[in-house]
Amino acid sequence: MYVVPLPRLLSSTGLGALTLPGSPRVAVPSDDLLGLGRIVASLIDGGEARVGGEAELVLAFGAGEGEEYELVVTGEGATVTAGTAEGLFRGATTFAQLVTPGRTVPCVRVSDGPALAWRGLSLDVARHFFTVEQVKKVIDLLALYKFNVLHLHLTDSQAWRLEIAAWPRLTGREHYTRDDYREIVAYAADRFVTVVPEIDMPGHVLAAVQAYPELGGRDEPAHPLVPFLDPRAEVVWRFVADVLGEVAALTPGPYLHIGGDEAFGMPEELYAAFVSRALGLARATGKRVVGWQEVSRSGALTAADVAQCWVGDGDAFDAEAARETAPPSYHALIDLAARAFEQAPHDVPAAVQAGAAVLASPSRVLYLDRRYAEPSVLAEQNERRERVGFASYRPMTSREYFGWQPGELVEIPDGARLAGVEAAVWCETVKSFDDLAFLLLPRLAGVAEKAWTEHATAWEDFRERAAGHVSWWERLGWDGYYRSAELFA
């Protein structure tokens, strides 16, 4: 039974199996869940949704909270019982994964629920633009693996990807219109995935400052590539209020991400002043604010905020190694980065001290833009292995990527209130959707297991289950997945 992530309890109820017809029927408890029924029917490869009546899969309200569900499969039919529509959907994804190529489903009983509340993927659409249809494919993959957050990194030095009516020069040729963004958010919501938009500031703003130079203030930045939003320029606060207000209004979910990372060369007092005021403006939109761990340096975090951890003690920036490969024009920027990294070990403890929740995204195990250490079983993929992925990271095998547990992350200090975990895929080296598939799969399936499954699972067991998901990846349009020799040899 190739189920990923592994449920809390999955047991066989005896011999036999449920045989599905060519057009299996999905019954839902009410008219307002017909849309959910249609999505579930499409998951199990066709069929129809109906309210009540005879069906091979019945979704029924019963006991349970949040995403918890029970699934029972007999030779006569299957029933998912949950207290919420979200729980029904999580159970339906488990049922869909149990369907064999021969369209049978083993007789089982499943009792399940998530280990962590936040299970996400951060997708860098700023450095490589993905179309609406491609983002929908990402959402389909997240839904299959019971992720519930898509964090969209919408702005960076390379590009600004979301239309802002009040500041029309921000976006270039490739971007999401307001309607595009609404379409993505709605598609995700139908699959119980919350979109968390990130507007990165006060650093990573070259694209914004090139469009509106007044946002950078009067002083020259420490390096031309790293301007920052100057809190002393009053136009900056009109800009921040406009942008956060528009993005919040477009986003029905409860979160708004303000970035805050790598404001290289920005004086500490200006950074603290900016983040403090930006946090207030973001909260004023009615959203719960998320920021990368550096925002704790402002001293303005509260218990309502979320600090996203990405680097910890032991992750020092190797400036000498960077200088060896970078052109001389970048050396000053490398020095700025090295100084910023020196403060990193203090960030998450400061956030914990402020009472903020911590979202775990340590680059050591949750940044998926790292090159594979093991070869592919397809010779032609080994050239891509030398090109796709961040060159300065130590390559890791798929098995190494699986060797961690959320409760044992050294980057998260004792006493932290863990919001959940989130993988990130940065797209500096991504040139196509196949490159994205190459980096995400099979590793994203392992992240799903860590985030959802309460107990640690063995690599050998996971390997067998994940290898059985090739048909899912290909069916959902992820043909570029990495044919890891550790999984497929």
Active site residues: 262
Question: What is 3-18 written as a DSSP string?
Answer: -SSPPSEEEEEEEEEE
Among residues 223, 210, 315, 307, the alpha carbon closest in space to that of 266 is found at: 223
Q: How far apart are CA 23 and CA 25, in angstroms?
A: 6
Q: How far apart are CA 178 and CA 132, in angstroms?
A: 12
Rounded to the nearest 10 degrees, the angle between the axes of helix 178-190 and helix 34-43 is 80
Residue carrying structure tokens 């032609």: 380
C-alpha triplet 23, 24, 26: angle, nearest 5°: 130
DSSP secondary structure code for residue 174 in this structure = S
Rounded to the nearest 10 degrees, the angle between the axes of helix 459-467 and helix 443-452 is 120
Tokens of 336: 């700025």
Helix (H) or strand (E) holding 238: helix 234-250
Asked whether 462 and 159 are in contact (CB, 8 A), the reply is no
Helix (H) or strand (E) holding 333: helix 331-342
Phi, psi of 206 (to 5 degrees): -55, -45
Exposed, middle or buried: residue 406 (CB in 10 Å: 0-12, 13-18, 19+)? middle
Among residues 404, 406, 411, 436, the alpha carbon closest in space to that of 421 is found at: 406
Residue 355: Cβ within 10 Å count? 12
Outline where 47-145 has alpha helix (H): 85-98, 132-144
The CA distances from residue 204 to 127, 200, 331, 392, in Å, are 11, 6, 18, 20
The CA distances from residue 145 to 121, 125, 224, 372, 450, in Å, are 11, 21, 42, 22, 11
Estimate to the nearest angstrom the gap between the alpha carbon of 236 and the chain centroid: 29
Residue 42: Cβ within 10 Å count? 14
CA dihedral in degrees (16, 21, 22, 26; nearest 10)? -110
